Amino acid sequence: LGCDTNSRTSAASVESLEQQLKEMAEQLSDTEEKKLKMEKKLKGAEDKIWVLQDYIDEIETAKSQREAALEERVLELQAELSTQARAHADVVGELQNLQGCSGDHTPQPAPQTHICPPTSLQLKSQLRGMAKSLERQIRELEAANIHVSSASLSSPSEDVSIREQLEALRCRTPEDSSCPASPSHLPMDELVQLSDKLLRYSRAAENIIKKLRDREMEIIMLRANAEEMQAERDVLQGQNERQQLQLATLNKRVEELRVRNEREIQANAAPLHQRIQELETLCSDLGNELKDTNRKLAKTKQKLDKTEAVMLRQEAEISNLSQHQQELVNNLNTDLAAMKAEKQQLQIMVEKYRSEDSVSFPQLIEVMLAEKNADIDQLQHRVEELQSQQENSSKSQSQSKSKSCRVSFADEVSYSRLTAGERAREAPQESNS
């Protein structure tokens, strides 16, 4: 029982230690899973940060390139616009001079034509040169306008002031229709063509100015977008720095947890290993004890087998003895019956002799009857003793069967060595006791 209690206690302690080891392993696996999840999240955040940083760098590069191209284009357009504005101012000045000259000479058209024909020729040549230069500049402006964008031209309402100014340059005299062949009206056709070209030039210039303003607005919007993107970049950089700081903190915490878990595992594992060694030693001792117990059980089983053989032999002897006693009882009963019959005969004889008046002989008969009665009583007592011995032997046989496991092998062997006569002598003593 003590061995069973120790083995159960050791088994319970081993199971509790195994359960603690499983719990520690599960906690360690949970910590490792959390660490892997945090590392995956941090890696994804770093990848996103690097992607956003590359995207911001590309946008900044494209923005700087576009700003540089737009600034160069703006400078070119400003230079062209300043050149065209100077040329336009020169043309307007010359037209105003021509208008002044024509206004001064309108009351006297006839003398003027005859007085200065070389001036009209010179004016025609100047107008032709101005027309050619305006045509070339208009083509350049229109080409520049087409290359800049595909926006629509300015509405006719935008050109009202220019049209009014150019219409004022046309012939205002009432003799325009009446004298078309006059030398003073010869430059007017050239002036009309020149005014149309100036109108086209002004439209192209206004379109260029409009496009420049649009480009300036686009530049402003791009700068605002660049500032917003710069602010977003600063925010993302701040988030990146915070995430890197969190990552460093988490890595430090994970390392601390790992070191602490290793220390706890080592601290918990040392007594566990010691306890396991003790339990292994105890198990080996219990195994040795179990082997010894098995050997003892084998020996005891052999003894029991021998004891059973002895008991069977003794039961056979007892059965034989009981049969002998039964035969003896039967013989005694037969003798008793014979003696009773003899007694009756003697009584009959006594009665017969009494009737014959014999005095001495009846006394003798009385003595004989007394002896026979004593013999009968002895036989009756012997029969009762034998019956009681038979009953006691059957009871002792049942008791010996129930107590056979408690009888030592040495007693059984010593009892088996007794002879049949000695056992027969001991049986009445046991029954009497």
Domain, as residue range, for 335: 302-432
Assigned domain for 281 exists? no
- The Cβ-side half-sphere exposure at 97, using a 13 Å CA radius, reads 9
Last residue of a domain, one of 208, 240, 263: 263
Measured distance CA(16)–CA(268) in Å, rounded: 13
Assigned domain for 400 exists? yes
User: Do 161 and 34 have their domain in common?
Assistant: yes
209: nearest Cα among 78, 87, 83: 78
Hey, what are 118's tokens? 């070389």
User: Do 210 and 342 have their domain in common?
Assistant: no
User: Do 309 and 215 have their domain in common?
Assistant: no
CA 53 to chain centre: 32
Per-residue pLDDT reduced to its tens digit, 36-52: 888 888 787 778 778 87
User: Do 234 and 95 have their domain in common?
Assistant: yes
Number of domains in the chain: 2
Assigned domain for 292 exists? no
Whether 423 has a pLDDT exceeding 80, the answer reads no
pLDDT of amino acid 394: 66
Per-residue pLDDT reduced to its tens digit, 239-287: 878 878 887 887 788 788 888 878 877 787 777 788 888 888 888 888 8
Q: Is the dihedral of CA 221, 223, 224, 228 positive or negative?
A: positive
Assigned domain for 362 exists? yes
User: Do 250 and 330 have their domain in common?
Assistant: no
Per-residue pLDDT reduced to its tens digit, 17-40: 778 778 878 888 888 888 888 888
User: Do 233 and 306 have their domain in common?
Assistant: no
Q: How confident is the model at residue 177 (pLDDT cuts 50, 70, 90)?
A: very low
User: Do 152 and 40 have their domain in common?
Assistant: yes
Per-residue pLDDT reduced to its tens digit, 54-96: 877 787 788 788 778 877 877 887 787 777 778 777 777 776 7
Per-residue pLDDT reduced to its tens digit, 217-233: 888 888 888 788 788 87
Assigned domain for 274 exists? no
Q: Is 151 left (phi over 0), alpha (psi -120 to 50) or beta?
A: beta
Assigned domain for 287 exists? no
Hey, what are 292's tokens? 């010894």
pLDDT of amino acid 157: 38
In angstroms, what CA-CA distances link 87 with 93, 131, 137, 420? Answer: 10, 12, 9, 166
User: Do 145 and 90 have their domain in common?
Assistant: yes
- The Cβ-side half-sphere exposure at 325, using a 13 Å CA radius, reads 25
User: Do 351 and 257 have their domain in common?
Assistant: no
Measured distance CA(148)–CA(424) in Å, rounded: 148
Measured distance CA(276)–CA(410) in Å, rounded: 45
244: nearest Cα among 56, 46, 57: 46
Assigned domain for 168 exists? yes
Query: Is residue 277 exposed (0-12), middle (13-18) or buried (19+ Cβ within 10 Å)?
Result: exposed
CA 12 to chain centre: 32
Measured distance CA(194)–CA(127) in Å, rounded: 7
Residues 6 or more apart whose CB falls under 8 angstroms from that of 123 comprise 98, 187
Last residue of a domain, one of 235, 263, 291: 263
Residues 6 or more apart whose CB falls under 8 angstroms from that of 183 comprise 113, 114, 117, 120
Assigned domain for 150 exists? yes
User: Do 43 and 114 have their domain in common?
Assistant: yes
Last residue of a domain, one of 263, 289, 323: 263
Q: How confident is the model at residue 183 (pLDDT cuts 50, 70, 90)?
A: very low
End-to-end CA distance of the chain: 39
User: Do 194 and 332 have their domain in common?
Assistant: no
User: Do 144 and 59 have their domain in common?
Assistant: yes
